[in-house]
Chains A and B, each alone.
Chain A
Amino acid sequence: MDLIADILENRLQEQAKFKPITVEKHLELDYDLGTLLCVDKNELDSGLLSKNKEDYVQNLTRDNVQLLMNQIWSLPTEKVDDVVVVKLPKPTYILPRAKRVPKPKPPTKWQEYAKLKGIQKKKKSKLSWDEQLQKWLPLYGFKRAQAARDKDWLLEVPQNADPLEDQFAKKFEVKSERVAKNELQRLRNIAKSKNVKVPRMGLLNPDVSSAKDLQTAVTVTKSSTASIGKFQSSLPKEKEARGVAAITPGASRKRKAAPVSSEVEKTESLNAIDYVLNKKPKIDIEKAVNRRINEEQQRRSEENTSMSTSRKPKAGRKGRKCNSSSSSKKPKSGKGQRKGGSSGRKRR
């Protein structure tokens, strides 16, 4: 029996050395296992904290970690590549995002049109077999330009065309025009999506422009000088394009007067005539009186001057004529009014 008692005692002593797995807390802790977060709302023991801060904090943390680990160990586990892995639940602690929630991109003009018409995008393979060159040619990208050069090393001059015209240059120009148009459409789509008003362009393509387009182009180009077209001479009977004024700074905005009915016109003109005929001369009494007084004063002064030329001025009365109200004392400081605001030195 002694032996058993000894063993039990030893066991108890050993257990006393280590802290147990179970921890008792006054309040339940809040866990968020998804973020491995644990919040302990229990009051701290201020006595122990002041006595030995580090030990107390370490023990407190140990207990909390033990509780957190107990929770984690109770989650379902898996075995991946001989390693025991625990599956964490979704985090519940909400953290702010770094950037805004992405908005869906507004569709381009083509996308809108395609949707309306039910046009669907076809997937094209990047390489296609060329019979002429007996080669796989890329649709775009690397080695595409070389392939095009290899293929079109000779160009036919079409019938009725100028034989001296450079067909290669023409082809290049057509392509650059296409690229420019594409870029323009891209920018227009961006402007549309950002809700920016874009100034009217000049002439997009001279080959397919109508008379109306040409007129707009003329108006826009004329207003595209530094002085927004103020000093541009115009042809006789030249007309400005319509609907350009709102977006072109130089173009004048003409507003047509509304048509006037004959009755209204008649009454308006009659009123005007009445107004002119019924005019009466205005008499400003104050002004008249003032004028009268002025005249009299002038007459009197003339008389005075004629009298005074015969007399000599008095010798003694030469000195300064001081204003009696102003004192001769120096102004002293600190007696004036302050300008207000807080009193005292400005403190930061």
Chain B
Amino acid sequence: MSVIQRVVKPTTRKGKKVLLSREPQVIEGPKRTLFLQGRKASVKVRNLLNDLYDIKKPDARKLSKKNDITIFENVVPLEELCRKNETPLFVFGSHNKKRPDNIVFGRMYDYSLLDMIELGIESYNGFHEFSNSKISLGTKPCLIFSGPEWEQTDELKHLKSIFVDMFHREYVENVRLQGLEHVISFTFADGKILLRSYKVLLKKSGCSTPRIELDEIGPRIDFAIRRNKLPSEDLMKEASRKPKELKKTVKKNIIVDGLGTTHGRIHIGKQNVGKLQTRKMKGLKKTTQEKTLDKLRKRKSMDSEDHEIRKKIKRTDFY
């Protein structure tokens, strides 16, 4: 007999609300990101974490203290931190002799690790090194992936998925056209990942679609790929399952035409024409002779059935 889990009722209304908000939802809000550093972090790594935190800002949490954890050896403390801060995404920065300027991008599913990929910073220019005008906080960026390799290896596919998950912010229905002002581009070239961030300038072109000019706002980072931990196919499938409620069920045989009237199609079984009641007429009535004949025929058929049954019984007796 296992020990029963202690089930504590929330004492305050606010506490109840918090607990309810932590329960799994059918439609999830934007994923929050946790930024944290390991035992040691170089200036480069810290600046990069700050810059990424600025890009992610309302949906992010930054831990300022150092953490004595090595996530590729033991991921449990990180999972605990992510559970505590309610952050399914994380960016972990560290620096040591073997892996200098190290950054790990990863995400959680159901408070346990889904996948993570370790990247090394090859070169880095921060936000503040670009003197151009900045973008407003919380804009939904356009994400551009260039290079054929993004679709070729498993690792890069996952990295792309992680990047999209981290930077796409949230699903929106409507977007202000003037608000499309930020572009993050990921280019895979010579085994390196080039992360660039631009401001979009919409210029007049003479037609309705504007001409695009870009203005780099930073950060400008070149990453090299290091270790990774990818999920099994089953886990990934389970994680990207769509809830039943959101699945569209197509209703058959209902059509709405251009005018907005609905048409339905109904299927009915085959009609038995032989039993159709037609108009009764005296001339078609059965005579008494015919009736007796019918009765006799019926009895005969019954008798023959009886006979067969008797035969069967006899056979079974014999055995």
Question: Which A positions have Cβ atoms within 8 angstroms of B?
Answer: 18-21, 34-44, 46, 49, 53-54, 57-58, 60-62, 64-66, 68-70, 72-74, 77-78, 80, 83-88, 91, 93-102, 186-187, 190-191, 194, 196-199, 247
Contact, CB under 8 Å: B24 / A65: no
Task: Please tell me if the beta carbons of B174 and A72 are within 8 angstroms of each other in the complex.
Answer: no
CB distance from A103 to the nearest CB of B (A): 8
C-alpha spacing A62/B189, complex, angstroms: 17
Residue of B183, B203, B207 near A65 (CB, 8 A) is B183
5 closest pairs, A vs B, by CB?
A: A96-B239, A98-B88, A99-B24, A61-B185, A102-B24
Select B4's contact among A43, A49, A61, A196, beta carbons within 8 Å: A196
Q: If A18-B203, A40-B147 touch, does A57 touch B196 (CB 8 Å cutoff)?
A: yes
The answer to whether B183 touches A83, judged by C-beta atoms less than 8 angstroms apart, is no
The reply to whether B236 and A36 form a contact with Cβ atoms under 8 Å apart is no
Q: Chain B residues in contact with chain A, CB under 8 A?
A: 1-2, 4-5, 7, 9, 23-26, 28, 31, 88, 107-111, 114, 140-148, 150-151, 161, 164-165, 168, 171-178, 180, 183, 185, 187, 189-190, 194, 196, 198, 200, 202-203, 205, 207-214, 216, 220, 236, 239-241, 243-244
Residues of B within 8 A of A84 (CB): 176-178
B236 to chain A: which residues have CB within 8 Å? 96
Q: How many A-B residue pairs have CB under 8 A?
A: 191
| A61 B172 Cβ-Cβ under 8 A | no
- Knowing that A35-B164, A61-B214 touch, tell me 19 more A-B residue pairs with CB under 8 angstroms: A18-B203, A21-B211, A36-B143, A37-B145, A46-B190, A57-B185, A57-B189, A65-B212, A73-B210, A78-B174, A80-B174, A85-B174, A87-B174, A88-B175, A95-B161, A95-B164, A95-B240, A97-B28, A98-B88
Q: What CA separation (Å) do A66 and B209 show in the bound complex?
A: 9
Give Cα distance in the complex from A102 to B243, angstroms.
8
**B22: min CB distance to chain A, Å:** 9
User: Which residues from chain A contact B168 at a C-beta distance below 8 Å?
Assistant: 35-37, 95
> Known interface pairs A58-B198, A60-B187, A88-B172. Does A98 touch B146 (Cβ–Cβ under 8 Å)?
no
* A/B interface sample: 15 pairs, CB < 8 A: A21-B205, A37-B143, A49-B190, A58-B216, A61-B187, A65-B144, A65-B200, A72-B175, A73-B177, A73-B208, A86-B176, A96-B161, A99-B25, A99-B110, A101-B24
Given A88-B172, A97-B241: A57 and B209 interface contact (C-beta under 8 Å): no
Which of B4, B9, B31, B143 contacts A191 (CB under 8 A)?
B4
Contact A199 B190, CB 8 Å, known A34-B171, A61-B185, A66-B212: no
Most-contacted residue by chain B among A73, A187, A247 (CB, 10 A): A73
B residues less than 8 Å from A44 (CB atoms): 146-147, 187, 189
Specify the chain B residue showing the minimal Cβ separation from A45. B189
Contact B146 A72, beta carbon cutoff 8 Å: no
Note all chain A residues with C-beta closer than 8 A to B190. Answer: 46, 49
B23 touching A38, Cβ below 8 Å = no
- Which partner residue on chain A sits nearest B202 by CB separation? A69
Chain A residues near B210 (CB, 8 Å)? 21, 69, 73
A88 in contact with B173 (CB, 8 Å): yes
A222 to B37, CA, bound (A): 56
Of the candidates B189, B198, B240, which one forms a contact with A49 in the assembled complex, judged by CB atoms under 8 Å apart?
B189
CB contacts (< 8 Å) of B196 on chain A: these are 57-58, 61
Contacts of A69 in B (CB 8 A): 180, 200, 202, 209-210, 212
Residues of A within 8 A of B194 (CB): 53, 57
Q: How far is the CB of A29 from chain B (nearest CB, A)?
A: 9
Could you tell me the distance in whole angstroms from the C-beta of A13 to the nearest C-beta in chain B? 16
Q: Which residues of A contact B7 (CB under 8 A)?
A: 187, 190
Contact between chains at B142 and A36 (CB < 8 Å): yes
Q: Is the CB of B243 within 8 A of A101?
A: yes
Name the distance in Å between B189's Cβ and chain A's nearest Cβ: 6
The answer to whether A101 touches B216, judged by C-beta atoms less than 8 angstroms apart, is: no
Question: How many angstroms between the C-alpha atoms of A330 and B284 in the bound complex?
Answer: 130
CB pair B212–A39 under 8 Å, yes or no, is no
Name the distance in Å between B174's Cβ and chain A's nearest Cβ: 5
Q: How far is the CA of A252 from the CA of B151 in the complex (A)?
A: 66
Q: Give the docked Cα–Cα distance between A66 and B183 (Å).
A: 11
CA distance A40 to B107 in the complex (A): 25
- Given contacts A98-B28, A98-B109, are A36 and B180 in contact (CB under 8 A)? yes
- Cα A88 to Cα B179 with chains together (Å): 13
B240 & A96 in contact (Cβ 8 Å cutoff): yes
Whether B239 and A65, one on each chain, are in contact in the complex, defined by CB atoms closer than 8 angstroms, is no
A38 touches B109 (CB 8 A): no
Q: With A191-B4, A196-B2 in contact, is A42–B148 under 8 Å at CB?
A: yes
**Closest residue of chain B to A70, judged by CB?**
B209
Give the complex CA separation of A78 and B174 in angstroms.
Answer: 9
Are A101 and B174 in contact, CB atoms less than 8 angstroms apart?
no
- Cross-chain contact B243 with A21 (CB below 8 angstroms): no
- With A and B bound together, what is the CA distance between A101 and B31 in angstroms? 15
B14 → chain A closest CB, angstroms: 15
Q: Which residues of B contact A39 (CB under 8 A)?
A: 145, 150-151
Chain B's closest residue to A59 (CB) is B214
List the B residue with the shortest CB-CB distance to A195.
B2
Alpha-carbon distance A68/B171, docked complex (angstroms)? 17
